[in-house]
Structure 1
């Protein structure tokens, strides 16, 4: 703090504060043309919500466009459409059945909700037959999977009947005759 003297007044204090102000010191290490980037990283949630909004806006513009407006149908073009509501509902159900048959002829479509999907191409995960932990190793003599060397020592001490029981639990039992 500045010493207080008899000659001290407000202008002297302000001059001293301006002299000691760190914000006014030139900083040669800072680039005067630097601008912080305006773009920031987005989370997955933000990306998905933006994409769904974009799709929704495209659908509303397509629904409001003239391309989706049905053309007027004359009775000769409509085939067997009738003004009678009962007959019209029968025609509609016939059209739906025809559309479903065409879809069935092209083959089943696989979606996340359909059960008719191909089996996985990834290899099956292997677990230790003794401990249930992930098994990076397999004993070539017995065929048992094991987690580490301590479990391997236990496997070496098992009898043939015990080994067959462990293999039967996993569904890999071999019947020796």
Structure 2
């Protein structure tokens, strides 16, 4: 039978060497780096711009104004090389949507949302009360409402 004392001693040394409970483990991998692509706030964007192009603003309102100026200048440069205006959230030069789901219909009489259309006069109306008014209108009045809406058709 082999002696127990030397075996226990070497066994204990091996256990101490492989024990991971006493080694400090950081929460994050030490080689981890944040992504280069991240969202920046106005101050960070303005601090990253070259100092010669825009002076450093003193408050957040001036910073936002300077940022909108940067965006407009960038869009202007894009528009010079593009065929049409650049569509962004800062301009309104884009055409309205022609998709039928995006177009809301409004009553020709009241201006409220109009879920109904009179087949006889082709006027849009909001409810039963307005429908009575639409039916009591003369032919020329209904056509003038259609003309104001841009739906008046003149046949030659």
Name the one with the larger helix percent: 1
The answer to whether TM tops 0.5 is no
Higher normalized contact order (CA 8 Å, seq sep 6+, divided by chain length): 2
What TM-score do you get using the length of structure 1 for normalisation?
0.38
Give the TM-score taking structure 2 as reference length. 0.42
